[in-house]
């Protein structure tokens, strides 16, 4: 699985290929097939990157060791081009119901494993939450959604995948930056055999892109390193640091279920502007109103989470009128920053609610 992209290096999935309608991602469990006899154009492209990589601080010895070993991987290009639903910036398509996705991604096993991790790691999680304001349950839910609590982190060679995606050219600058960032990880002493991940370049327990790891990777266990591949403490601290960077507001829920009255005029609360990022994802949200204003319209928060009447919220009905609705706070937008998919963000929030019960 992949994650994250950047707005100033932090808009997660808006630029990564969307792997299902509304941004759901495709699992990258396929093996990284080897293709001998790399294309001459691919090799020329790689060596053309050498001056830029050196200018950005990559050691020439690293380039000498890595570039001759790389071959073009058509498999990652095929995976990139086969993403259903089109790019997140493209026109809206028919969106399936959320319920089947929820049943698959917030299933009994994932909840049970999440609760076990949550209870076992409470001292660590509590310390990180005290430092960052990011809830313990959100850290666990991201970990659970990204790699099923570390059980599968991807087996594609990052350097080969990112070089192939950069060469293909559809998002050349993005993947060139990530390729160079991965070379920098080698210079930091991270062994190449550890630099495995999704076909799109996400790696480790949190599925960070290499540039994101460089910016936001954190040492959570005090050993002086940020090891998101084998250290649960470092991975969870890095996830929390990501959300701090994305603007997480402490002591505010990501959202709450809501009761919408019959005959509610949805046209009256349509968004007033088109989001410049992931427009079809954000188009499913209403405009922002205070919770007090929603109450005045008959939209009433329900469930256990408490939300202030002064808090701004938007409404989403992922399965349409008559099904479960949610009032979403700005913290929901922080989850979208990790992966710009309503289905993903709702699943993270609902899994967080379930594991903390």
Write the pLDDT tens digit of every residue in 250-287.
Answer: 999 999 999 999 999 999 999 988 888 889 999 999 99
pLDDT value at 11 more than 90: no
- Average pLDDT of the segment spanning 30-45: 63
Choice between 35 and 228, residue whose per-residue pLDDT is larger: 228
SS3 for 304? coil
**41: pLDDT confidence band, cut at 50, 70 and 90?**
very high
**305: pLDDT confidence band, cut at 50, 70 and 90?**
confident
Per the prediction, the chain carries an average pLDDT of 88
Strand-pair category, 255-259 with 312-316: unpaired
Token look-up 């640091």 returns 241
In whole angstroms, give the CA distance from residue 253 to residue 311.
10
Taking each helix axis from N to C terminus, what angle separates 122-132 and 136-147, rounded to the nearest 10 degrees?
A: 110
| Residue 96 pLDDT | 84
**245: pLDDT confidence band, cut at 50, 70 and 90?**
very high
In whole angstroms, give the CA distance from residue 114 to residue 11.
26
In whole angstroms, give the CA distance from residue 177 to residue 168.
14
3-state percent helix, strand, coil for the chain, nearest multiple of 5: 50, 5, 45
| Residue 166 pLDDT | 97
pLDDT per position as a tens digit, 311-352: 999 999 999 999 999 999 999 999 999 999 999 999 999 999
| Residue 77 pLDDT | 94
| Residue 17 pLDDT | 34
Q: What are phi and psi of 26, to 5 degrees?
A: -90, 135
**83: pLDDT confidence band, cut at 50, 70 and 90?**
low
| Residue 85 pLDDT | 43
CA dihedral 193, 128, 341, 112 (to 10 degrees): 80
């Amino acid at each position: 699985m992949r994650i994250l992209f950047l707005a100033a290096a932090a808009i997660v999935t808006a630029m990564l290929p969307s792997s299902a309608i509304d941004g759901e991602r495709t699992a990258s469990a396929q093996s990284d097939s080897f293709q001998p006899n790399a294309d001459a154009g691919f090799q020329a492209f790689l060596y053309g990157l050498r001056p830029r990589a050196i200018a950005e601080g990559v050691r020439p010895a690293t380039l000498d060791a890595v570039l001759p070993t790389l071959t073009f991987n058509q498999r990652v290009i095929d995976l990139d081009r086969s993403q259903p639903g089109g790019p997140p910036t493209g026109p809206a398509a028919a969106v399936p119901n959320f319920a089947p996705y929820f049943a698959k991604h917030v299933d009994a096993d994932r909840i049970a494993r999440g609760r076990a991790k949550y209870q076992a790691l409470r001292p660590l999680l509590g310390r990180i939450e005290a430092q960052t304001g990011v809830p313990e349950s959100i850290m666990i839910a991201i970990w659970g959604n990204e790699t099923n609590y570390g059980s599968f982190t991807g087996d594609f060679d990052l350097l080969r995948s990112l070089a192939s995606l950069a060469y293909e050219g559809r998002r050349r600058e993005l993947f060139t930056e990530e390729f160079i960032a991965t070379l920098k990880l080698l210079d930091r002493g991270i062994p190449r055999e550890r630099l495995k991940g999704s076909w799109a370049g996400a790696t480790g327990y949190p599925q960070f892109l290499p540039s994101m790891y460089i910016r936001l990777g954190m040492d959570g266990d005090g050993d002086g390193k940020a090891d998101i591949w084998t250290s649960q403490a470092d991975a969870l601290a890095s996830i929390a640091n990501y959300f701090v960077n994305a603007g997480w507001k402490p002591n505010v829920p990501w959202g709450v279920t809501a009761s919408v009255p019959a005959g509610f005029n949805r046209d009256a609360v349509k968004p007033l502007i088109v989001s410049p990022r992931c427009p079809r994802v954000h188009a499913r949200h209403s405009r922002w109103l205070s919770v007090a204003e929603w109450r005045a319209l008959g939209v009433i928060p329900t469930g256990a989470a408490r939300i202030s009447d002064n808090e701004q919220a938007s409404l989403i009905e992922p399965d349409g009128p008559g099904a479960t609705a949610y009032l979403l706070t700005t913290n929901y937008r922080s989850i979208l920053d990790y992966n710009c998919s309503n289905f993903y963000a709702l699943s993270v929030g609902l899994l967080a609610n379930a594991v903390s019960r």
